[in-house]
Structure 1
Amino acid sequence: MGATIGMDIVVVGGGIGGLAAALSAARAGHRATVLERAPSFQELGAGIQLAPNAFHALDALGVGVEVRRRAVFTEELRLMDGVSGDVAVSLPLTGAYRKRFGNPYAVVHRGDLFQPLLQACRQHPGVDLLADHAVVGYEQDADGVRAVLADGRQVAGDLLIGADGIRSAVRGQLVGDGPPRVSGHTIYRCVVPMGEVPEDLRANRVTLWAGPKWHFVHYPIARGELLNLAATVDDGASRAVVGDPVPTDRVRNLFHRLPPVARRLLHLGRDWRTWVLCDRGRLDRWVDGRVALLGDAAHPMLQYAAQGACMALEDAVVLGRVLGEHAAEVTTTLERYNDVRRERAAFAQHVSTEIGTQLYHVAGEEARQRNEMLRALSPSDLLDRVAPLHGSRGFGLPAATRPVDLADAGH
């Protein structure tokens, strides 16, 4: 079956990546059906960071204005030495940053990114949203592809996009690489009403306190009405945990060595929940005939570069772009999508891992050298370091991009 206008595209997963993929395909002239396993379409979680590349993608999807309306435009990324309490490096996010990258850096509640995508899908005549449709696999032949549901039903289309997250059932069949890799890093998250935050602790920036095998980050979200807190420790955790509640005292005791200002912020937190972070290694091929992966199903990464959602949005835009090229065959279209995204996604995965091991969690002499290296960078140098990720508009990786090292890690 040729890839012509009016293809039926089945999208597995109704999260940020899945909705973006459906919207992108529909805007390219196709019909998309989103299958979500949960009883309703909703996004859980708290804060998320959006670099300029995310806004370029959101604009291409037609929802950039609405996300901007809900966002907090941060003025600075600041890395603190969590032992001494000194500033290690500061990257201003106004002026030269916005001029160079053509968009702001913002922080939002995950729902403030999810809801504009959901609303746009609901309003588009080419998108159907089906909740309570758990996909366990797929079948395909020369005539099409079918998502196989847990209850035995099937949903047919011309191609299928697996956007069903890090534990993707579609990836399980396409790649067969088992469960995700447990990183050994445990994160504790909560949000605090901004009215409970003392005036002297409020700031319109993303601040990260880096210590030996741990870090603590905080920033405003939800139009500035909430403060997002996230504390991470490299504790060698070996079992995946997803959103379990934890006692407040446990979090305070784990991070009792924070400098006074950071400790005051941490002590505002309550109703903490914990996750053990997971990822997967690089995957060069995430296409199988009429089936392709997207977002965390294709290239899950640790949170440290704040690019996971950004990469999913980029995937969606590139997918819509190649679907709009009217390739002669479905498989050719998906191969092109894979070719464009492969290296850039792998680069983002690599940077995310390296930041945790080489920038945030170092100690002693390594921490001192990190601080010296970062403080020696000029404002222009800092922009150069983040440009490969933050500055992309085409969403492919330039051939000249070199492997990341400490100087590249930046933020």
Structure 2
Amino acid sequence: MTKTDLIIVGGGIGGLAAALAAAENGKTSTVLERAPEFGEVGAGIQLAPNATSVLKRFGVMDDIQKVAVFPKRLVLKDVYTGEELSTMDLGEAFLKRYGHPYIVLHRADLHRILFEACVRTGKVTFVNNQTIVSVDQHHNGVTVTSESGDTFTGDAVIGADGIRSNIRKYFSDDEPVCSEYVAYRGTIPIEEIETDNIELDDVIMWIGPYLHLVQYPVRSKQLYNQVVVFKSYRYKEGSDDWGTPDEMEQRFQGSHPKVWRALSFINRQFRWPMYDRLPIDNWTKGNVTLLGDAAHAMLQYLAQGGCQALEDASYLADMLKQYPDDYEQAFLAYQKERIPRTARVQRSARTWGEILHAADPVTILLRNTIFKQRTPQDYEVADFLYHYEHTSRKIKPEVLS
């Protein structure tokens, strides 16, 4: 196989964004994906301004707008009473503050658009059925070897192979951490639900002790996305006999009628145990680095997993421009910025999970009192996430010092 500039292990959202970052700098890449075809599983994804700014940078926002939904509010509701506890206005004031919109869309739509953008560059090669198990650096570059014995060589390697990354093993022997929560998610055609009974302009999160439900429309409001999350009281390490559909029904007993009805639409065949990783202090060794969940898998409570992968790709593009002939320096500069940033988001996601899932009555009372004191245009709590500046082509001198 012809040697390429970059080998990118993993063809998900982060891997494709990394390929666009390479192409922006005139570099070729080969994207290796373990699945038999390129695509995205799951359902909806929320993308805040720190991610939509990257999509604009990579020239795909026009296509994204055709399938995305631009919600008017983020809403927190009590899972039992239906009371609105807090809202965030996503309208003009939000756009003025952050410069880019908040959108929701189907993960498959986002993945397709990124894939098509990679194809248009003419600089990205795709190879399926490749589970990479080893990395070897040598004087000719870096070679990765797949489970089947296939080898691929490039000048450098980016590991974007998800939370169970094999490339991460090159840096750390840590393991994913189970939160003891499980998710059931899926989308349904909008005509199958009572549209007069739901708020199609809102992203709604119903919260309660150790559980929540998220709802919002996707695919230009043709589909309705729902995610049910709860902590299992039956968790057993190494077992799949926990977080089952019957436990979901037990856990949501007594919830608001709209929540209870939503459960009837949830696909119960696929359960997603929820894991994250503890931050590590190094992602780079020579001409190999990590990106996305492989580097900083996080819990979903801030809706930042995909956003942080896109931020990674954007900042990496800047560093490849700054150090066009030195991958190690580019990767070291990239991680110097990104490790503190993503570690903070990882830790914040855990903290917000505890806040949203509070069970102690005193804690709930304090949380709800604080939430209700907020105004819809009080954005200060989100500034550290959405005001991230390093997502454009302009390289600020202080960033590189």
TM over 0.5: yes
1:140: which partner in 2? 137
Assess, with a 3 A threshold, how the Cα gap between structure 1 residues 222 and 297 changes in structure 2: closer, same or farther. same
Secondary structure at 1:72's aligned position in 2?
coil
CA contact (8 A) 2:314 2:390 kept: no
Counterpart pick for 1:183 among 179, 182, 185? 179
Secondary structure at 1:288's aligned position in 2?
coil
Superposed CA RMSD: 2.1
For residue 252 of structure 1, report the CA deviation from its aligned partner. 3.1
Q: Which amino acid is 2:108 matched to?
A: G
Q: Which amino acid is 1:181 matched to?
A: V
Assess, with a 3 A threshold, how the Cα gap between structure 1 residues 161 and 364 changes in structure 2: closer, same or farther. same
Counterpart pick for 2:265 among 264, 268, 273? 268
How many Å separate the matches in 2 of 1:59 and 1:47? 20
How many Å separate the matches in 2 of 1:72 and 1:99? 19
> Are residues 1:20 and 2:17 paired?
yes
1:166: which partner in 2? 163
Assess, with a 3 A threshold, how the Cα gap between structure 1 residues 210 and 170 changes in structure 2: closer, same or farther. same
For residue 11 of structure 1, report the CA deviation from its aligned partner. 0.3
> Are residues 1:347 and 2:334 paired?
no
Describe the superposition over 1:66-109 as per-residue Cα deviations: whole angstroms up to 9, x where unpaired: 11221011111000122332111011111201111112111111
Superposed, which structure 2 residues align to 1:25-40 within 5 Å? 25-40=22-37
Assess, with a 3 A threshold, how the Cα gap between structure 1 residues 331 and 268 changes in structure 2: closer, same or farther. closer
1:209: which partner in 2? 206
1:122: which partner in 2? 119
Assess, with a 3 A threshold, how the Cα gap between structure 1 residues 156 and 192 changes in structure 2: closer, same or farther. same
Structure 1: any 5+ residue segments left out of the alignment? 1-5, 397-411
> Are residues 1:200 and 2:182 paired?
no
Assess, with a 3 A threshold, how the Cα gap between structure 1 residues 360 and 99 changes in structure 2: closer, same or farther. farther
Secondary structure at 2:220's aligned position in 1?
helix
CA contact (8 A) 2:231 2:243 kept: no
1:41: which partner in 2? 38
CA contact (8 A) 1:212 1:361 kept: yes
1:333: which partner in 2? 330
How many Å separate the matches in 2 of 1:252 and 1:149? 42
Assess, with a 3 A threshold, how the Cα gap between structure 1 residues 182 and 293 changes in structure 2: closer, same or farther. same
> Are residues 1:310 and 2:307 paired?
yes
Assess, with a 3 A threshold, how the Cα gap between structure 1 residues 241 and 89 changes in structure 2: closer, same or farther. farther
How many Å separate the matches in 2 of 1:361 and 1:327? 48
For residue 21 of structure 1, report the CA deviation from its aligned partner. 0.3
CA contact (8 A) 1:182 1:240 kept: no
Describe the superposition over 1:32-75 as per-residue Cα deviations: whole angstroms up to 9, x where unpaired: 11011111111111011011111101111121221122101111
2:387: which partner in 1? 391
How many Å separate the matches in 2 of 1:360 and 1:253? 17
2:68: which partner in 1? 71
CA contact (8 A) 2:184 2:266 kept: no
TM-score, length-scaled by structure 1: 0.89
* Count of aligned pairs: 387
Q: Which amino acid is 2:13 matched to?
A: I
Assess, with a 3 A threshold, how the Cα gap between structure 1 residues 299 and 95 changes in structure 2: closer, same or farther. same
Assess, with a 3 A threshold, how the Cα gap between structure 1 residues 162 and 263 changes in structure 2: closer, same or farther. same
CA contact (8 A) 2:185 2:226 kept: yes
Assess, with a 3 A threshold, how the Cα gap between structure 1 residues 231 and 94 changes in structure 2: closer, same or farther. same
Q: Which amino acid is 2:186 matched to?
A: C
CA contact (8 A) 2:182 2:243 kept: no
> Are residues 1:220 and 2:220 paired?
no
Q: Name which of structure 1's ranges 96-105 and 156-165 shifts more when overlaid on structure 2.
A: 96-105
Describe the superposition over 1:118-171 as per-residue Cα deviations: whole angstroms up to 9, x where unpaired: 001112111111112221111002431111122223211111000000000100
> Are residues 1:62 and 2:33 paired?
no
How many Å separate the matches in 2 of 1:9 and 1:232? 37
CA contact (8 A) 1:56 1:393 kept: no
Q: Name which of structure 1's ranges 228-237 and 159-168 shifts more when overlaid on structure 2.
A: 228-237
For residue 239 of structure 1, report the CA deviation from its aligned partner. 4.2
Q: Which amino acid is 2:179 matched to?
A: S
Q: Percent identity?
A: 36
Secondary structure at 1:176's aligned position in 2?
coil
CA contact (8 A) 2:319 2:330 kept: yes
How many Å separate the matches in 1 of 2:306 and 2:76? 22
Assess, with a 3 A threshold, how the Cα gap between structure 1 residues 268 and 157 changes in structure 2: closer, same or farther. closer
Q: Which amino acid is 1:122 matched to?
A: V
Secondary structure at 1:224's aligned position in 2?
coil
1:321: which partner in 2? 318
